[in-house]
Amino acid sequence: MVSCQATTPSSTVSPSPSPVPISSPSPVPTPPVKSEAVKTFEKRLRGELIKKAGITVQTVSCPAQVNVETQAPFFCQATAEGKTFTVAVNPKSNTKTDKNELRWNTQGVLVLAKLEQTIRQGIQQQFRLDVKTNCGGKIRVVKSGETFQCKVTDSRGQTRPVTVRVDDEQGNVTWKL
C-alpha cells in the first residue's frame, strides 16, 4: 500500500512587494512497474489455481519487485468471486527435474465444493447416509478459529446444520453434525 501526504499550496503575505515562493505539492510516488517475468508468473499461477484448486480466479497480483526465478518464498493476492485471498508461493530449487514445478498453497480460503464432498463422504462413512451438502457458494474467505454452518439434506428432504470450524489458514477444518 502506498501512503502519501499531499501538501496544499500556501503563500505568505508580506509587506514588501517582493515575490513570495509558493510551495508545490509533493510528487506522488508511482508504483513499481511489473516485469514481463512477473506478469507471466501471475498468469501461470492463475492457471494453476483454476486447474488444481478448482477456483475461478479473476486476478492474481504478485509484488512488482519479486524475482520469480529465486528460491525465496513470497506472497501473491488472488481474487475469485469478488473475494481476495493470499497465495503463498514457495519456489523449488532450480534443478533440472523440478524446474517447471510451482509450489504454492492458498491461505485463508476454502474451496466449498471440496468441503462439501468431505462432509458428504464423512457422513456416508459414519452414518451410512447419502446426503446433499450446501455450504453456500464456491469459495469462502476464512480465518483460523472461525466457525460457520453448512447444511445437509437427506433423501427424505430433512435438512440439518453442520458446524464447521476452521483449524488453520491452510484450510484444515473440523466439522460436526
Count Cβ atoms within 10 A of the Cβ of residue 79 and give its class: 0-12 exposed, 13-18 middle, 19 or more buried.
Answer: middle
pLDDT in tens, 76-111: 999 999 999 999 998 765 455 555 678 898 999 999
C-alpha cell at 69: 526465478
- Chosen domain end from 107, 124, 149: 107
| 116 and 72 housed in the same domain | no
Give the count of beta carbons closer than 10 Å to the beta carbon of residue 176: 9
**Interval 111-163: pLDDT, tens:** 999 999 999 999 999 999 999 999 999 999 999 999 999 999 999 999 999 99
Residues 152 and 134 in one domain: yes
Q: Does residue 9 sit within a domain?
A: no
Q: How far does CA 5 lie from the centroid of its chain? A: 29
Identify whether residues 89 and 46 lie together within a single domain.
Answer: yes
The domain tally of the chain equals: 2
Residues 154 and 102 grouped into a single domain: no
Is the pLDDT score of 65 beyond 80? yes
Choosing from 73, 88, 107, the residue where a domain stops is 107
Same domain, yes or no: 101 and 122: no
Residue 60 included in any domain: yes
Q: Assess if residue 2 is contained within a domain.
A: no
Distance, in Å, from the CA atom of 94 to the CA atom of 83, rounded to the nearest integer, reads 33
pTM (two decimals): 0.70
Residue 91 near residue 101 (C-beta atoms within 8 A): no
Confidence (pLDDT) at 69: 79
Running DSSP on this structure, what letter comes out for residue 117? H
Say if residue 98 is in the same domain as residue 57. yes
pLDDT at 13 exceeding the cut of 70? no
Which of 68, 91, 107 delimits the end of a domain?
A: 107
Determine the structural domain holding residue 133 and report its residue range: 111-176
